[in-house]
Amino acid sequence: MNFRCLHKVALVSVGLISCAQYSAQESYLALLFLNSDSGGGGNGPGMYANVSGLSGTLVLQNGGANDWTITSDGTFLYPGSIASSDAYAFTIYSRPSNQTCTISGGDNGDGTGTYSGDTETVTVSCSTNGAAVLSGIQTGTTTMNPALRNIAVTAVNMSRSFVICYFQTDSSDPSQVPTCQLTATNQVQIQTGGANAANTVRYYLAEFSSGVSVQRGNLQLTAGNLSGTATLGTPVNTARSFIWVTSRTTDNTRTADERRTVTARFSNSSTIQFDRNESGTVVDIEWQAIEISSGTVQSGISSMANGQASLVVTLPTQFNTSRTALIMNYRGGTTVNGIEGDFYVQGALSGTNTLTFTRIASNGTVDIAWFVVELTDGASVQSGTATTLPAPNSETNIDVTLSPAVDLTRTIPFVYGTVFNDSDSDQDSGSFTPSFTSTTNLRLSRGSNQDRRADAAWYTIQLAP
């Protein structure tokens, strides 16, 4: 068939010109071709999107570019260029602010695959119920001298906002580990157990207009207490909720860092359980319980035994790694004696239903409370592991390439570090602060320039707009 007449066929349909030099069958096939491009077909070879439940404007992207705007339900032919054997990765770039949209289909079931040259379809399903709609992300840094910093931020709705923070320091004193909390609509409070101008903390504050609810509070474990509880003002759905927890101490005993470490988990829909393995010092805890109505969460607590450097956990339900992140906290055992290599743990998604936790050394026990958070509202996740160069190098930064590029206005990083050394003075070598230097580069920074190799598991969560 000669497709040079396609533009004429389109005009025939509105009675402007004739295309009689081609047969009726050819004209009919051409009309089918045009119709498939505008949402009614999907009959011929090509890459299609089948959209349902849409109320507004949806923009898809292929490989982080090539905007594809769709405004109604139907089956639509991809307007960009795609050839047989080309890889594709369709994601939701934007969707109506009052809707949740998820993408599936394609070779891999998540909108990605390799085009066969035949008819292939990705499916986008939209719903007006419970979308997590991001209002914005604020980020910044502060140095911890004095030890209490009240950071002014643009006012947010506290019931729909949460804050996370990371630190890099030149010290291995446990008092240098910060807590962070949203203490007012326009204030983030960051606090350590001791002032140090060389201790830099970075915070990320995310606010949502709907679909996310946050409860927060603080708790003190006195020197003789191993555990405590916090009662939530409103019960949560634990299958959609996770906990972000930070803890601090004024104790500078490097051989007992583990006293500061605590696990936080839901014991029921109204109660958070906090535990540590070794008491002996006062610990102040800041916690946030975050419920995402359009997400799903699998959670549990797992233990690494004495002599065990790696632990694989199998989950009952599979998850999509392109939209799932691991949130975790841990407590060191009584015999780790402040050695960071024994109780600093990194966690990675090692399969579609498995987690792998690793530490560099294996003395003593470590208990890990974990939350596998799968976002179903158009968010996307990238993850991986990174390593500083081994001795005698002294890298303070690890640069990670992100592909596709992320939108910095709606992306939050998470990182968990470990360190290669049998010493109680490596907190500065294994603690990382994540920041974005560009849309395609995540930088993990530490305060130490010693010849200590360190590993980090990282995640970037690009939230739906």
Q: Which DSSP category does 78 fall into?
A: -
Res 209 pLDDT > 50:
yes
Q: What is the pLDDT of residue 43?
A: 58
Q: What is the pLDDT of residue 15?
A: 35
What is the residue extent of each domain of the chain? 38-127, 133-462
- Here the tokens at position 179 are 């807590």
Mean pLDDT of 132-138: 90
Q: Which DSSP category does 388 fall into?
A: P
φ/ψ (deg, to 5) at 65: -150, -170
3-state secondary structure of 416: strand
3-state secondary structure of 292: strand
Q: What is the pLDDT of residue 94?
A: 82
Q: What digits encode the pLDDT tens for the residues 253-277? A: 999 999 999 999 999 999 999 999 9
Res 360 pLDDT > 70:
yes
Alpha-carbon span 338 to 421, nearest angstrom: 12
Alpha-carbon span 220 to 230, nearest angstrom: 10
DSSP of 219-258? EEE-TT-SEEEEE-SS---GGGEEEEEEEE-S---GGGGG
Q: What is the pLDDT of residue 449?
A: 78
Q: What is the pLDDT of residue 129?
A: 63
Q: What is the pLDDT of residue 102?
A: 84
Q: What is the pLDDT of residue 132?
A: 80
Contact (CB, 8 A) for 393 and 442: no
pLDDT confidence band for 388 (50 / 70 / 90): confident
pLDDT confidence band for 288 (50 / 70 / 90): very high
Alpha-carbon span 102 to 379, nearest angstrom: 9
**CB atoms closer than 10 angstroms to residue 197:** 10
Alpha-carbon span 338 to 427, nearest angstrom: 9
Q: What digits encode the pLDDT tens for the residues 392-425? A: 666 889 999 999 999 999 999 999 999 987 788 8
Mean pLDDT of 4-11: 36
Mean pLDDT of 192-220: 96
Alpha-carbon span 315 to 300, nearest angstrom: 9
Q: What digits encode the pLDDT tens for the residues 164-176? A: 999 999 999 999 9
Where would I find the beta strands (DSSP E) of 36-77? Answer: 46-52, 58-62, 65-70, 74-77
3-state secondary structure of 167: strand
Rg for the chain (alpha carbons), in Å? 26
Q: What is the pLDDT of residue 378?
A: 74
- Average model confidence (pLDDT) across the chain: 88
φ/ψ (deg, to 5) at 114: -125, 125
Contact (CB, 8 A) for 220 and 284: yes
Alpha-carbon span 342 to 326, nearest angstrom: 21
Mean pLDDT of 290-313: 95
Mean pLDDT of 208-221: 95
Q: What digits encode the pLDDT tens for the residues 140-153? A: 999 999 999 999 99
Three-state secondary structure string covering 354-383:
EEEEECCCCCCCEEEEEEEEEECCCCEEEE
Contact (CB, 8 A) for 373 and 297: yes
Q: What digits encode the pLDDT tens for the residues 79-101? A: 999 999 999 999 888 888 677 78
Res 3 pLDDT > 50:
no
Closest CA to 37 of 2, 83, 78, 91: 78
Contact (CB, 8 A) for 75 and 121: yes
- Here the tokens at position 134 are 């991001």
Contact (CB, 8 A) for 448 and 367: no
Res 4 pLDDT > 70:
no
How large a percentage of the chain has pLDDT more than 90?
A: 74
Q: What is the pLDDT of residue 272?
A: 98
DSSP of 319-350? --GGGEEEEEEEEE-TTSTT-HHHH--EEEE-
**CB atoms closer than 10 angstroms to residue 277:** 21
Alpha-carbon span 381 to 413, nearest angstrom: 10
Res 390 pLDDT > 80:
no
Q: How far separated are the first and last CA of the chain, in Å rounded?
A: 44
Q: What is the pLDDT of residue 408?
A: 96
Alpha-carbon span 401 to 421, nearest angstrom: 27
- Here the tokens at position 80 are 């960009």
Contact (CB, 8 A) for 93 and 58: no
How large a percentage of the chain has pLDDT more than 70?
A: 89
Q: The tokens 């009584």 sit on which residue?
A: 334
Please enumerate in sequence order all residues whose Cβ is within 8 A of that of 403, keeping only pairs 6 or more positions apart, or say none: 64, 382, 440
Res 35 pLDDT > 60:
no
